[in-house]
């Protein structure tokens, strides 16, 4: 570990000399995991900026390197450990560089990390981001600086995140989770549920509208559990819809048990609220749902989907599914497969169960081999690909509204954007600009993309 007293006073290191010359300190952040983590990265930059730090996209230019991590599955953690090892070369080349780990994995493995990654300078949990500037201002010590206290009251409501350019702004409305599903590490690493005040959020969104953002995506681990006194999530949605300049409103991820009639009504009546919902199911078997302690039965979930589809015509649905939960037998898996075939989601995120130390299910024996889990996963991926392709094909010949986000990866010269149902569409530009809402006639489709003819 380096004993350099200041971040930007290394030896003869060209990149850091450049930082001295410009009197700025550069922070490079790699983000792993969910959308909330991406939003937290914007928050971290927002916390650091008033202290003289600027973000950089080039690791070689960085005085501070942070990996903002995820703990939800083991694979996510393995990737981070591998990357940390790669990044030690930066510390070897630039001895003044600080290397830190933030987010859920930092919270989950704070002790273990110091064994596995002794070259870390900082370990910061999700409720400790405010301590970052002070920790960076301290002398570089031989021992890493650790800040992992969970704080029930921390919402970062007063911090202005530094957002990326684009048409869509991610806004965290609540943090933490009180649900304690037996497979999930989130409540342990992100702490208890707490919401940002309604007035603060509406002020933030007004500013975003003035800055030219067209779409706002509300984020929370159980976003529809949002509450500020008398105001619930439905109030937040309807009040947001009244803000001029914001054309589309989305949110992720709602919990089926918190999906109130009031929210369904707002989705049905507010045209700005997108007809798209990510509604995690996890399993189609009541036996497994009960052991997961999800708080709903399959019948309750299916009835909810029916109410949503009746209320919001053209609603696109996506979900999360876990295969291979301890005790999931062939009949349980078949039930999941059959529900997916019946509900016909537009898309799905499908995962193999990953045992997480500290959760209730961690103590339960896994009853499937890795091969069996892979096979079950592959079976539902194949099913979902077919369904997604079939649903998308129905859009051929229709005209759909697309919010233009930028150039398409291919073909060259085409533009890319999202439909109101949150499907990716590519189309020949025809003079459309970033942030425009254009009508695109769908000429062909794949399981993942709508391909347009021309903007109308
Ligand atoms: N193993 C596999 N998938 C998990 N998820 C959460 N915890 C685990 C786990 N231990 C999935 C759930 C959740 C999504 C964000 O990640 O499907 O909805
Ligand atoms: Fe995890 Fe369940 Fe909370 Fe979602 S609702 S974050 S799956 S504990």
pLDDT of residue 456: 54
pLDDT, position 92? 84
Predicted local confidence at residue 455, as pLDDT: 56
Closest residue CA from atom 1 of ligand 2: 184
* Ligand 1 centroid distance, CA of 349 (Å): 9
Q: For residues 113 and 104, what is the distance between their CA atoms, to the nearest angstrom?
A: 12
Closest Cα to atom 7 of ligand 1: 184
Say yes or no: CB of residue 280 within 6 Å of ligand 1. yes
Q: Is 177 near ligand 2, meaning CB less than 6 Å away?
A: yes
Q: Which of 33, 37, 176, 255 to mutate to test the pocket of ligand 2 (most atoms within 8 A of CB)?
A: 255
| CA dist 46 → 53, 104, 156 (Å) | 9, 19, 10
pLDDT in 10s for each residue of the chain, 456 residues = 332 222 222 222 334 444 444 568 999 999 999 999 999 999 999 999 999 999 999 999 999 999 999 999 999 889 999 999 889 888 888 888 999 999 999 988 887 777 777 788 999 999 999 999 999 998 777 777 888 889 999 999 999 999 988 999 999 999 999 999 999 999 999 999 999 999 999 999 999 999 999 999 999 999 999 999 999 999 999 999 999 999 999 999 999 999 999 999 999 999 999 999 999 999 999 999 999 999 999 999 999 999 999 999 999 999 999 999 999 999 999 999 999 999 999 999 999 999 999 999 999 999 999 999 999 999 999 999 999 999 999 999 999 999 999 999 988 889 999 999 999 999 998 889 999 999 999 999 999 999 999 655
Atom of ligand 1 lying closest to residue 185 CA: 7
Q: Could you tell me if the CB of 187 is within 6 A of ligand 2?
A: yes
Dist. CA 433–CA 441, nearest whole Å: 17
pLDDT at 14 (0 to 100): 35
- Residue 186 CA to ligand 2 center (angstroms) comes to 6
The predicted pLDDT at position 1 comes to: 32
> Cα–Cα distance between 282 and 185 in angstroms, integer?
15
Q: How far apart are CA 401 and CA 412, in angstroms?
A: 21
Ligand nearest to the CA of 321: 1
**Alpha helix (H) residue ranges in 99-210:** 104-108, 110-116, 132-137, 186-190, 198-210
CB 266 within 8 A of CB 273: yes
How far away, in angstroms, is 453 Cα from ligand 2 center? 41
Helices (H), 158-282: 186-190, 198-210, 233-241, 261-269
Q: Is the dihedral of CA 225, 292, 32, 337 positive or negative?
A: negative
Could you tell me if 63 and 25 are in contact, meaning their C-beta atoms sit under 8 angstroms apart? Answer: yes
Rounded distance, CA 149 to CA 70, Å?
Answer: 17
- Calculate how far, in angstroms, residue 239's C-alpha sits from the geometric centre of ligand 1: 31
* Ligand number nearest to the C-alpha of 188: 2
pLDDT for position 144: 78
Instruction: Return the pLDDT at 454.
Output: 64
Using an 8 Å Cβ cutoff, are 327 and 182 in contact? no
Separation in Å, CA 205 to CA 3, 44, 168: 44, 19, 11
Confirm or reject: Cβ of 281 under 6 Å from ligand 1.
no
C-alpha triplet 370, 371, 375: angle, nearest 5°: 115
pTM for the model? 0.93
Q: How far is CA 431 from CA 46, 375, 405, 454, 455, in A?
A: 34, 47, 13, 10, 9
Please give the pLDDT value at position 11: 27
DSSP-assigned beta bridge partners for residue 123: 101, 146
Are 186 and 72 in contact by the 8 Å Cβ rule? The answer is yes
């Amino acid at each position: 570990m380096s004993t350099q007293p200041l971040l930007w006073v290394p030896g003869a290191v060209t990149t850091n000399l450049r930082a001295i010359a410009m009197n700025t300190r550069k922070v490079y952040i790699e983000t792993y995991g969910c959308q909330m983590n991406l939003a937290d990265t914007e928050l971290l930059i927002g916390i650091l900026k008033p202290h003289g730090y600027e973000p950089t996209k080039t690791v070689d230019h960085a005085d501070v390197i942070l990996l903002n991590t995820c703990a939800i599955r083991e694979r996510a953690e393995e990737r981070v450990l591998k990357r940390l090892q790669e990044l030690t070369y930066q510390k070897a080349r630039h001895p003044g560089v600080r290397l830190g780990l933030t987010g859920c994995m930092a919270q989950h493995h704070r002790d273990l990390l110091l064994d596995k990654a002794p070259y870390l300078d900082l370990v910061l949990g999700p409720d400790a981001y405010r301590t970052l500037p002070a920790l960076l201002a301290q002398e570089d010590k031989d021992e890493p600086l650790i800040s992992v206290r969970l704080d029930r009251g921390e919402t970062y409501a007063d911090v202005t995140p530094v957002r990326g350019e684009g048409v869509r702004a991610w806004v965290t409305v609540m943090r933490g989770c009180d649900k304690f599903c037996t497979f999930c590490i989130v409540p342990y690493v992100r702490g208890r549920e707490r919401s940002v005040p309604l007035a603060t959020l509406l002020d933030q969104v007004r500013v975003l509208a003035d800055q030219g953002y067209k779409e706002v995506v509300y984020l929370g681990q159980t976003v529809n559990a949002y509450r500020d006194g008398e105001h619930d999530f439905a109030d937040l949605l309807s009040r947001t819809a009244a803000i001029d300049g914001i054309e589309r409103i989305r949110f992720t991820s709602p919990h089926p048990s918190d999906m109130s009639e009031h929210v369904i009504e707002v989705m049905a009546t507010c045209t700005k609220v997108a007809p798209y919902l990510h509604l995690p199911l996890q399993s189609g078997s009541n036996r497994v749902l009960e052991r997961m302690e999800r708080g709903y039965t399959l019948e309750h979930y299916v009835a909810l989907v029916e109410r949503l589809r009746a209320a919001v015509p053209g609603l696109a649905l996506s979900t999360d599914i876990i295969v291979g939960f301890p005790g999931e037998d062939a009949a349980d898996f078949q039930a999941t497969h059959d529900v997916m075939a019946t509900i016909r989601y537009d898309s799905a995120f499908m995962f193999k169960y990953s045992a997480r130390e500290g959760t209730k299910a961690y103590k339960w024996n896994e009853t499937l081999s890795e091969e069996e889990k892979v096979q079950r996963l592959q079976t539902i991926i194949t099913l979902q690909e077919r369904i997604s392709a079939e649903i998308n094909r129905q859009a051929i010949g229709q005209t759909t509204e697309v919010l233009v986000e930028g150039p398409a990866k291919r073909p060259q010269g085409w533009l890319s954007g999202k439909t109101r149902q949150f499907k990716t569409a590519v189309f020949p530009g025809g003079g459309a600009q970033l942030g425009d809402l254009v009508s695109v006639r769908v000429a062909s489709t794949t399981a993942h993309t709508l391909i347009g003819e021309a903007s109308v």
